[in-house]
Amino acid sequence: HLVVFFPKFHCKINWIEYFWTQCKRYAREYCDYTLTGLWAQIPDAIASVKVTTIHSCYHQCPWRIQAFHGRVIYGTPNYNNYVKEYKSHRRV
């Protein structure tokens, strides 16, 4: 077994957070906003995430880890090669 420790609250370098994001997106879209409805959607939400999406999330995280280790300086042209910049957290 390989144990990998991530810093607390660094969701950008933990690939499982991207997987859960996809699951939550599916659950919000198909849930009737009751607790029983949410429980019913959880297995479908987990199954809805494609394996290729999981692999993509997993392979993007080492780039971000390198950026956070100080190998890439924030704001430099190389930074955008490692970490995708978002213009907003949420959109309406």
Is the per-residue pLDDT at 71 higher than 60?
Answer: yes
The reported pTM is 0.61
Span 12-52, pLDDT tens digits? 778 888 889 999 999 999 989 899 998 999 999 999 999 99
Is the per-residue pLDDT at 9 higher than 70?
Answer: no
Who's near 11: CB < 8 A, 6+ residues apart?
Answer: 17
pLDDT at 86: 53
Instruction: Answer whether 41's CB lies under 8 Å from 29's CB.
Output: no
pLDDT at 12: 74
- Domain chopping of the chain, boundaries: 11-85
